[in-house]
Structure 1
Amino acid sequence: MSLGGKETSFLIPEDSQPLFQRSEQSKDSVFFRDGIRQIDFVLSYVEDVKKDGELKAERRQTFEQNLRKTGLELEIEDKMNSEDGKTYFVKIHAPWEVLVTYAEVLGIKMPIKLSDIPRPKYSPLSYMLGPVKLPLGVKYPKPEYFTAQFSRHRQELFLIEDEATFFPSSTRNRIVYYILSRCPFGEEEGKKKIGIERLLNTNTYLSAYPLHDGQYWRPSKTSRINERYVLCKNWARFSYFYKEQPFDLIRNYYGEKIGIYFVFLGYYTEMLLFAALVGLACFIYGLLSMESNQTSIEICDPNIGGQMIMCPLCDEVCDYWRLNTTCLHSKFSHLFDNESTVFFAIFMGIWVTLFLEFWKQRQARLEYEWDLVDFEEEQQQLQLRPEFEAMCKHKKMNPVTQEMEPHMPLCHRIPWYFVSGTTVTFGMALLLSSMVSIIVYRLSVFAIFASFMESEATLQSVKRFFTPQLATALSASCLNCLVILILNFFYEKISAWITKMEIPRTHQEYESSLTLKMFLFQFVNYYSSCFYVAFFKGKFVGYPGRYTYMFNLWRSEECGPPGCLIELTTQLTIIMIGKQIFGNIHEACQPLIFNWWRRRRTRTHSEKLYSRWEQDHDLQVYGHRGLFYEYLETVMQFGFVTLFVASFPLAPLFALMNNIMGIRVDAWKLTTQYRRPVAAKAHSIGVWQDILYGMAILSVATNAFIVSFTSDIIPRLVYFYAYSKNSTEPLSGYINNSLSVFLIADFPNHTVPMEKKDFVTCSTLCFCLNFYW
């Protein structure tokens, strides 16, 4: 067999019998041609005929030679054997000596004794929840062991029954990737060039990935357990939406980092069930009391609301209007702005505190169960980013390990920190300017909607369901949702670029820096419009005759008679549901369409063996930041559920339904549509936990302010206790009390409706909302 122009042979033990003959090799084989050595990693490349083709070939040859020096074994599949006839595949196998060496370097824990601690027994409640439980063989795929950090010099202490299966496939691909990420492929100006990632970025290699165990739709034909099939059958099926997740199996197959994400998502979804039930009860209460609401009754009454002539909503083109035209609007507002609003805001404050505290407890238990208690020390000592090592020309003594390690002086980082800070500031300013643009849009089109809805003869049906405020809020919310989705695309690219330029030392520092930038961008992007409607809209309007104007052109927006809470609900509903629908469609359809197109384009030689490595090569790449975007989406949803939940008690219910479906979508795409990610360890959800704590504290304040300033509950309570004189209908007369009287003869000439300028009399009055004065 030819490897880089050299003939290489492998010694196979005489007592070993190949599982597959070369001429009869199964397309699902995960072994070398000898049928013995397991494929732990695959590299693919295409010969480049351009001017840098020779350089790439030289780098590949040097890289592969250095991989062999570390002890890895390589087998190359010629392009003539591939389905498309042009792709080379380099299959990598880590022999036992390599595995034990790097298992010790990475401090990987392996079993030393079967655990004698019994698993928790089912309680009576567990029997009641029987339908949601998984079979024990799926929930606990392997026995529990006592473990210790592996030592190659003390192998007799570990339970090594078979060297081929002692290290699970997730551990094997983690070790091989560790070697690949630190293997040099050249040197330039005295600085080593290292790492598979740099080769992938320059297209020297097309891809690098571990293999799936087998097909996801059928079990393995050999005695090996196809964990991918088990996951697809018991986890990735949409019909199993009510089932618990096989966390141990996820951890064994994908690694702890992905496993802990699904534990967090599942726990968050379980807790959402309680919030959703209480929120639904509050909504039902508002629905049942909607018709008996005294405020709506007075607004809809022709003898009360019908006799109240209201001030124009805009200058000149808007006419006077009657209060009863907002009858339906006031009823809808009562759905979300009623006596239960205060109760639900208090409940969610307690819920978010309990959720975070219980999650800390669940996470601590998970660290113990998955042997992650001392993982943080490993991470700090070993996981230097290859890019950081390549960029560093200085070394410094580590005071803990007493070893020399790469060091980047602060003076070399300051320019990039300045660029990063400037870029983040500019991005935030651009986000705020986009929000101002939306406000300008609202002010500009409000007069159009108001004048369009003035014809009482022809547009009574329209006016019954839409007010100018509601029509403007709906259109502006849809436009804002579209702008948010567009801006997110650009901010993801910018954030990744500036974080890379900061040259973080470890993977943890890189992820923390990127997380903070992306969160700040998306926090402002998604929530700025909600903050505007909740706390700023209608607060700086002025009063008739002395309205305030934005840029001296547009009159500031007013809230409707029922207040701004219904508009905040509309804004929140459109952005939250729109984001979830777009996200689910994108997550489900994008890999499906891309995989179909790639298979259609590459399957040109159907008579050839469509091998396991080619099948995985045609799948989508999960990427290093795949899990990052999943966390970001969940945290942003957490913000919608907590920050403004007093205005929208159905938010937890929509989040619950989205997560139930989202768990299965994520499982389905991971198992069937994506290449197998490289296994990685993590002992917690990282910086996301600090972000959740910050949002929880902020949510208490925002909901308190919504109840105090945006909701109409406080003015109603003041009227109930201080001014109400009717014992049978305590809120009788509240509407008249909440309005102020204005003599329309005092309007400045430039604000009076153009068609009514000649008909103004000194005795004519109109009503305005009290808090505008």
Structure 2
Amino acid sequence: MNGQEDENEAPFEVAVVVTKREREDGDECYDAVDVLVDQFRKVGLIVDRAVGLQHEFIKLAATLQVLGKAASELQLKKQTHIGVDVQFQWEETGAFVRQIDGSLFSWSERYQCYHHLVYGIVNESDSYIALKYESKELCWNTGESLVRKLETESIVKEIFPLHDEIKRKPLQRTWALNWWDFTEQPLNEIYSYFDTKIAVYFAFLGMYTRWLLFPAAFGLTIQIVDFGALQLLVLPAFFISIVTWAALFFQFWKRKNSALLARWKISHSIGPYPGYKIMDTEDIQIPLEKVEKKGSLKQLNEKELYQREEWSGRLMRFRNDAIIILSIICLQLPFELAYAHLYEKIVSDLLKFGLTAVYLFSIQYFTRLASKISVNMIRKHEKSDNTEYRARSLVYKVFGLYFMQSYIGLFYHILLHRNLRTLRQVLIQRLIVSQVIENLVETSLPYLKYSYRKFGAVRNKKRCDKGATAGKKVSILRVEKDFMKPAYCASIGEGLDDGLFDDLLELALQFGLVMMFACAFPPAFAFAVLNNITEIRTDALKLLVMLRRPVPHASVTIGAWINIFQFLLVVSICTNSLLLACLYDQEGKWKVEPGLAAILIMEHLLLFIKFGFSRLVPEEPAWVRASRMKNAAEAQNRYSQQLLRSISGERKRD
């Protein structure tokens, strides 16, 4: 929907992919796909059918009225003009605030409505309905979802969101291809097109890149300028500055996050899918098989069963944590130490560079494989109270694998060899090689996948036509091009925090690399700035051009990643203190002389500063807090007036 949402101009936003039929015979009145299209029209959807090279596509659009009624059935919670979230009612549309682009529903809310309309088509008759599809005969049973039925029969292949060309092209011009603004981004338009989670990520990336300019300039100054006798004081000053900078950044990011949510009229208490229950009741309910064995629920001691389920879930989580930690210690740690030791023994710089490149390629594959195993193990055997906790658990465990892979070799150079020259070489190579590899892979791999699918589809079309299209250019529908593009998902498992997992992981590993070893190589922050400026545009181009439009997931923060960033900040205080000790203890005797004692005191002081800023800088701007309190007071007054009128009316009737 664009602007004020003209009901007569609803864009196609969702496509249903149907297996292309080899023949068109049969009774069309009972053809499964024709029945599906008729049912889509009966619920009010606007339908357009298109036959592609390999599949048939049913494009769907919906007017504002159809979406509004679906939102009422879903009982979606939306913010009213007094700042209170209540269940949406189509008859009271004027009470609800509109989006920043003037539309009534966000992209996430619209997609939920489409999902409800598509999967809500059920057989309401008293008996089954016989359907046909080529030579197949299907029974659409009473109360069964038609789309679910066709999915199980492999007739409906997939349902995915479509790119909106009216919104996509301006975004591509003003965002993905706009290199002059560096870190400036059209966040409101990004939110309207991709919804909250992706918009919050790019807001974080842009703010982080702007804030990196200070440590980058400071680090380059230290590298270029010779401070002479003051050189021994410059690195501690740089160390104190970057820790203070990072602590301030995280606090001001929380303020910006709150301001963005207020601008977009989003409540902090929003769940992963507004309108759906956050709690996963299937994880805490009493197992049905246990109920059946003992007869009835009344015969069971419910308290004991709930306690048993609770503690079995905790034991499963503990077991998974233990397996992952032991696998890191027994499998990954020796491999990392072997690489670090071999790097120390090789003399040629060219061989060292080649070793680093081969190592990064190989370890990325093995770490990704281990992460997939961890994800599957957690999903199958670990129970949690809600989906948000499960997502955080996945992020923490998988990041632990990547943390070991990325930093253990660098710790080896500090603790055992104390070779700062080698450490600087490894940092430079990793910053260059890893960042270049990541950018090349994430931009070229989707394009190669799309090109391969497109080539295969055209080749099969020409083969089926037996030369009829020889020498002619085969045209491909836009909807089929969207379908051929890869989905935006995590590389270690589809559905894991979407593709943002990879993007935030790359950002966290970079932050740890430049922060934890800042005193060894201060110009590392300049590398990070250049990479992030490129990352903003390449990620934007990837989302707008190379990938399908992502399935929206509403999320008000970057989730568990903010805790990971702050954990890396605490670790960086310890590692940089150790680096300073190595730099100033030239004899290598590890004596706690006055200089080293000063470093230990500085470490404790910086830890105090880090945790002190969380109290000094409020996480919510004053205007956001004042607006929220004003809305709460106004809501209370209105509820009180309504209650008084209700009581007064009852007294009069009595």
TM-score > 0.5 by shorter chain: yes
Give the letter aligned to residue 436 of structure 2. I
Pick aligned residue for 2:110 from 159, 172, 178: 172
Aligned residue for 2:219?
Answer: 279
Q: 3-state DSSP class of the match of 2:557?
A: coil
Pick aligned residue for 2:254 from 360, 368, 373: 360
Aligned residue for 2:328?
Answer: 428
Alpha-carbon distance in 2 for matches of 1:42, 1:387: 31
Paired residues of 1:72 and 1:93 also in contact (CA < 8 A): no
User: Residues 30-429 of structure 1: matches in 2 within 5 Å?
Assistant: 38-46=11-19, 71=43, 73=45, 75=47, 77=49, 82-84=51-53, 86-94=54-62, 96=64, 98-104=66-72, 105=74, 107-109=76-78, 150-158=88-96, 166-167=104-105, 171-177=109-115, 205-214=156-165, 226-237=166-177, 239-240=179-180, 242=182, 244-285=184-225, 288=226, 340-376=234-270, 382-384=276-278, 409-410=309-310, 413=313, 417=317, 420-429=320-329
Alpha-carbon distance in 2 for matches of 1:673, 1:82: 23
Alpha-carbon distance in 2 for matches of 1:241, 1:160: 29
Q: CA deviation at 1:193?
A: 10
Q: 3-state DSSP class of the match of 2:360?
A: helix
Residue by residue over 1:724-767, the C-alpha shift from the partner in whole angstroms, topping out at 9 and shown as x without a partner, is xxxxxxxxxxxxxxxxxxxxxxxxxxxxxxxxxxxxxxxxxxxx
Q: CA deviation at 1:356?
A: 1.1
Describe the shift of the 1:526–1:424 C-alpha distance in structure 2 as closer, same or farther (beyond 3 A): same
Describe the shift of the 1:496–1:194 C-alpha distance in structure 2 as closer, same or farther (beyond 3 A): farther
Aligned residue for 1:617?
Answer: 483
Describe the shift of the 1:617–1:277 C-alpha distance in structure 2 as closer, same or farther (beyond 3 A): same
Q: 3-state DSSP class of the match of 2:15?
A: strand
Tell which deviates more after alignment, 696-705 or 427-436: 427-436
Aligned residue for 1:666?
Answer: 539
Alpha-carbon distance in 1 for matches of 2:90, 2:592: 79
TM-score, normalised relative to structure 2 = 0.68
Aligned residue for 1:496?
Answer: 375
Alpha-carbon distance in 1 for matches of 2:507, 2:181: 18
Describe the shift of the 1:421–1:718 C-alpha distance in structure 2 as closer, same or farther (beyond 3 A): closer
Alpha-carbon distance in 2 for matches of 1:427, 1:202: 41
Aligned residue for 1:487?
Answer: 366
Tell which deviates more after alignment, 674-683 or 664-673: 674-683
Pick aligned residue for 1:524 from 395, 404, 407: 404
Residue by residue over 1:318-364, the C-alpha shift from the partner in whole angstroms, topping out at 9 and shown as x without a partner, is xxxxxxxxxxxxxxxx9xx9653222222211111111111122112
Give the letter aligned to residue 213 of structure 1. D
Describe the shift of the 1:203–1:664 C-alpha distance in structure 2 as closer, same or farther (beyond 3 A): farther
Q: CA deviation at 1:508?
A: 2.0
Residue by residue over 1:422-467, the C-alpha shift from the partner in whole angstroms, topping out at 9 and shown as x without a partner, is 5413431321121233255357x55xx5xxxxxxxxxxxxxxxx6x
Alpha-carbon distance in 2 for matches of 1:634, 1:710: 28
Residue by residue over 1:476-523, the C-alpha shift from the partner in whole angstroms, topping out at 9 and shown as x without a partner, is 544543333222331342233123213556442332122112211100
Alpha-carbon distance in 1 for matches of 2:399, 2:149: 27
Aligned residue for 2:449?
Answer: 594
Describe the shift of the 1:167–1:369 C-alpha distance in structure 2 as closer, same or farther (beyond 3 A): closer
User: Residues 437-456 of structure 1: matches in 2 within 5 Å?
Assistant: 437-439=338-340, 441-442=342-343, 445=345, 449=347
Structure 2 gaps, min length 5: 1-6, 23-29, 129-142, 292-305, 462-468, 490-494, 596-654
Q: CA deviation at 1:195?
A: 12
The alignment covers a number of residue pairs equal to: 529
Alpha-carbon distance in 2 for matches of 1:594, 1:155: 44
Alpha-carbon distance in 2 for matches of 1:277, 1:40: 45
Give the letter aligned to residue 55 of structure 2. T
Alpha-carbon distance in 1 for matches of 2:237, 2:555: 38
Q: CA deviation at 1:370?
A: 1.7
Give the letter aligned to residue 207 of structure 1. E
Give the letter aligned to residue 427 of structure 1. S
Paired residues of 1:174 and 1:680 also in contact (CA < 8 A): no
Q: 3-state DSSP class of the match of 2:404?
A: helix
Pick aligned residue for 1:642 from 515, 518, 541: 515
Q: 3-state DSSP class of the match of 2:549?
A: coil
Q: CA deviation at 1:269?
A: 0.3
Pairwise CA RMSD? 4.8
Describe the shift of the 1:412–1:481 C-alpha distance in structure 2 as closer, same or farther (beyond 3 A): same
Paired residues of 2:337 and 2:412 also in contact (CA < 8 A): no
Residue by residue over 1:275-316, the C-alpha shift from the partner in whole angstroms, topping out at 9 and shown as x without a partner, is 10001001112xx47xx89xxxxxxxxxxxxxxxxxxxxxxx
Give the letter aligned to residue 434 of structure 1. F
Alpha-carbon distance in 2 for matches of 1:362, 1:415: 39
Residue by residue over 1:203-244, the C-alpha shift from the partner in whole angstroms, topping out at 9 and shown as x without a partner, is 664432111112xxxxxxxxxxx1111100100105335261
Paired residues of 1:380 and 1:506 also in contact (CA < 8 A): no
Give the letter aligned to residue 58 of structure 2. V
Alpha-carbon distance in 2 for matches of 1:227, 1:696: 39
Paired residues of 2:516 and 2:568 also in contact (CA < 8 A): yes
User: Residues 568-587 of structure 1: matches in 2 within 5 Å?
Assistant: 568-587=423-442
Give the letter aligned to residue 509 of structure 1. Y
TM-score, normalised relative to structure 1 = 0.59
Q: 3-state DSSP class of the match of 2:205?
A: helix
Describe the shift of the 1:110–1:598 C-alpha distance in structure 2 as closer, same or farther (beyond 3 A): farther
Pick aligned residue for 1:687 from 543, 547, 560: 560
Alpha-carbon distance in 2 for matches of 1:63, 1:518: 45
Alpha-carbon distance in 2 for matches of 1:278, 1:63: 67
Alpha-carbon distance in 2 for matches of 1:172, 1:475: 50
Alpha-carbon distance in 2 for matches of 1:407, 1:720: 55
Paired residues of 2:272 and 2:553 also in contact (CA < 8 A): no
Structure 1 gaps, min length 5: 1-33, 50-57, 114-144, 187-191, 215-225, 294-333, 397-405, 450-465, 539-562, 723-773
Describe the shift of the 1:183–1:660 C-alpha distance in structure 2 as closer, same or farther (beyond 3 A): farther
